[in-house]
Amino acid sequence: MPSTKLFVGNIPYATTEQELQELFGRSGAKVTSARVITDFDTGRSKGYAFVEMATPEDAQKAIQELHNLSIAGRNIVVSEARPRPTGGGGGGGGARRGGRPAA
């Protein structure tokens, strides 16, 4: 059976992965993993996470029960995660070096 990854947005910055696993597992659903996304430099939460459920049915149930739930004054967003776009992303190129144009 395929698992289903959920996007969980607008979570309080202090939310832990353990808390997410407990929240999503309350209804008896099996949580495969929970990962709070953090800033690379500071290690602080970015306010969103990904939770992987064991079955698509568990994922749909979690969306129905938890989307717009208020946690610490913030209404969380729960939806099916979209796959990362492939290729062609990012890369800001190099900085242009100054100087005078050739005459």
* Total Cβ atoms within 10 A of residue 31: 21
Residues, the chain, total? 103
- Given a contact cutoff of 8 angstroms between Cβ atoms, the answer to whether 68 and 10 are in contact is no
pLDDT digits (tens, 9 = 90+) for 31-45: 999 999 999 999 999
DSSP state of 10: S
pLDDT digits (tens, 9 = 90+) for 49-80: 999 999 999 999 999 999 999 999 999 999 99
Q: What span, in angstroms and rounded, lies between the C-alpha atoms of 27 and 62?
A: 8
Boundaries of every domain in the chain? 4-80
Q: What span, in angstroms and rounded, lies between the C-alpha atoms of 5 and 10?
A: 17
Task: Please state which of the four CATH numbers 3.30.470.160, 3.90.950.20, 3.50.70.10, 3.30.70.330 is assigned to the domain occupying 4-80.
Answer: 3.30.70.330
Q: What is the mean pLDDT of the chain?
A: 87
